[in-house]
Copies of this chain bind each other. A is one copy, B any other.
């Protein structure tokens, strides 16, 4: 690649909130509440994936959902209809959640009687990856229409996640999406990343994702 000039315009604006995140994690450990931080682009199907996940797991454990959004309450209303405890966090324009905001959310939802809480982060592949929320595990969703080149363009989020859900596999025939390439690119960023191709719409692949999740929660509570 030598035909294109590349100009670096680095700037450091990210606050270090690692210590606070460790404190949140220690409190969750003490209470036996597993926190999953779920990240993705806008429109990749986070809420629908959570609905499918909750349907399969809500009889086995007590689940809470924190929906972070810039402005609306669309997602929390959907999740409340799924029959689990649900709150909406408004970030007031902020593009991500940090450990302090997550802690506020946990205090509001009340984790003492919950086994498993999901933080649905703001739809954004960049900023949420920069901030440790205090979650026990991080997962992300990439949907087929977004394209298989995303691990090349948004490297950090693939590095910080434990699991990658590839959603909307029901529309694979209509997109130039190369599953082998996305797996190779994602593993280039993070060799330990667990990858789950699913369709939240049809339910295909959702069981394998839930099996992995159950295992993480059991390990954490053991």
A89 touches B9 (CB 8 A): yes
Contact of A95 among B43, B74, B95 (CB under 8 A): B95
Give the copy number: 2
**B43 and A147 contacting across the interface, CB-CB below 8 Å:** yes
1/0 per residue A57-93: CB within 8 Å of B?
0000000000001111110110010000011111111
Q: Interface of A with B (CB < 8 Å)?
A: 1, 3-11, 13-14, 41-43, 69-74, 76-77, 80, 86-95, 101, 104-105, 108, 122-127, 130, 143-147, 149-150, 152-156, 168, 171, 174-175
Contact status of A94 and B13, CB under 8 A, knowing A154-B70, A155-B70, A174-B171: yes
A62 to B63, CA, bound (A): 57
Chain B residues in 8 Å Cβ range of A7: 87-90, 104-105, 108
